[in-house]
Every structure is written in C-alpha cells, then in structure tokens.
C-alpha cells in the first residue's frame, strides 16, 4: 500500500515539474520567447493531465496560473532566471506563513490538503493522533520549504539558472515523497480506535 501511495505521489511530482524540465531543455537552444511558448504548452498539457486524472480542480488551476505568471515575469523582464522569481522568493514565504498559521490555529496544512486523500474523517482535527501527525508533517514541510527558499534565492542571485532549475524540479519530488508517506501513515491512524478523550 505504501508503494502505491509513493508511486502515485511520485508521478504527481514529475507532472508538476514537467514545465520546468521543458523550460530548462529549451531555453539554451532557442530564444527566450520560444522557450516560454513551449513551457506554456507543457503547462497546458500538465493541466489537461490533471483534469483527465480527475484531480481536484483548484490545485490544477493554481498550478497553471503559477506557470503562466512565471512565464509572464520572464517575458516581461527578458531574463531567463526571472522564470523562477516567484517560486524562488515569493512562494516560500507564502507557504512558510501558511504552515505556521495553520498549526497555530490547530488545523495543520498537511491535514487540510491530505486528509481527503487518506479518507480521513471530516473533522480530523478532533482526532489527537491525526492532528499531531499532520502538525509534524507540516513542520517538516516548513523546514523543506525554508531550505528550498534559501537555495533558490542563492542560485537566483548568482544567476545559476540550471542549479535553480534543479532545485525547482527536486522540490516537487521531495514533497511527493512526503505526501506518499503521510497518506500511508494517516490511513493506518484512521483505522485505529479513536482516543476517548479528544483534545
């Protein structure tokens, strides 16, 4: 069961990284405008795959919107590295804040995003073990996101395009592994008897 969850998450990670892979493979071989055009087509294909696989529409639309914004920023500035401006500087801050706030209000981000995939109860935050596990995963994501943000900022400042792209590709794969492990562990907790005294 774990291998199934991990494999499914890994495929999702590759799908998310696909536009970036296309960008890195085209930007050095053609003009920036043409490379961004191919990247936009890859993002549309990415979106179509998610729809065909009947994945939630909101993340699919968000992914397409982010890819479009990244391409737009790069086109406006005329710099290839600007394709990574939002993921390198803006998104890590937003994600980090979301992690902290969600844990503080006792609705860990991992639970909000993954409980449905695990088939958990609607009010999962009333299950202390589930909430604790989701909180721990959220903190892990906070650390990974922070490390990613630091690396991407360093590579962005140094104009290290391919290292920047490598981090950008690796992060979805890392988060996919975390998602697979979280869904598997959540399923095992869901099947356990609920504690009598809920917090």
pLDDT digits (tens, 9 = 90+) for 85-114: 888 888 899 999 999 999 999 999 999 999
The count of structural domains within the chain is 1
Domain span at residue 139 reads: 2-190
pLDDT of residue 197: 42
Least confident of 27-36, 44-53, 120-129, 142-151: 44-53
What is the pLDDT confidence band of residue 47, given thresholds at 50, 70 and 90? Answer: confident
Residue 30's H or E segment, with its range, is: none
Is 85 contained in some domain?
A: yes
**Considering the domain boundaries, does residue 198 fall inside one?**
no
Other beta carbons within 10 Å of 86:
17
Per the model's pLDDT, the better-predicted residue between 65 and 147 turns out to be 147
Q: Is a pLDDT exceeding 60 seen at residue 1?
A: no
| In a domain? residue 199 | no
Mean pLDDT confidence for 172-199: 77
- Under 8 Å CB-to-CB from 1, ≥6 apart: which residues? 184, 187
In contact, 174 and 144? CB cutoff 8 Å:
yes
Q: Is residue 195 part of a domain?
A: no
What is the percent of the chain where pLDDT is above 70?
86
* Residue 100 included in any domain: yes
Give the integer Cα–Cα distance in Å for 80 and 51: 29
**In terms of C-beta density within 10 A (0-12 exposed, 13-18 middle, 19 or more buried), how is residue 13 classed?**
buried
């Amino acid at each position: 069961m774990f291998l199934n969850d991990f494999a499914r998450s890994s495929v999702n990670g590759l799908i998310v990284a696909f536009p970036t892979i296309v960008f890195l493979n085209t930007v050095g071989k053609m003009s920036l405008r043409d490379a961004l055009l191919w990247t936009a087509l890859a993002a549309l294909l990415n979106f179509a795959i998610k729809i065909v696989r009947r994945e939630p529409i909101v993340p699919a639309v968000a992914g397409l919107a982010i890819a479009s914004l990244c391409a737009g920023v790069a086109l406006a500035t005329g710099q290839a590295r600007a394709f990574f401006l939002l993921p390198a500087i803006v998104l890590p801050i937003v994600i980090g804040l979301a992690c902290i706030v969600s844990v503080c209000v006792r609705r860990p981000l991992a639970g909000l995003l993954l409980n449905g995939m695990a088939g958990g109860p609607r009010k999962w935050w009333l299950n202390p073990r589930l909430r604790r596990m989701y909180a721990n995963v959220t903190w892990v994501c906070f650390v990974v996101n922070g490390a990613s943000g630091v690396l991407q900022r360093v590579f962005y400042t140094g104009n290290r395009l391919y290292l920047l792209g490598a981090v950008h590709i690796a992060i979805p794969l890392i988060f996919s592994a975390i998602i697979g492990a979280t869904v598997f562990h959540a399923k095992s907790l869901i099947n356990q008897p609920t504690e009598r005294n809920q917090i």
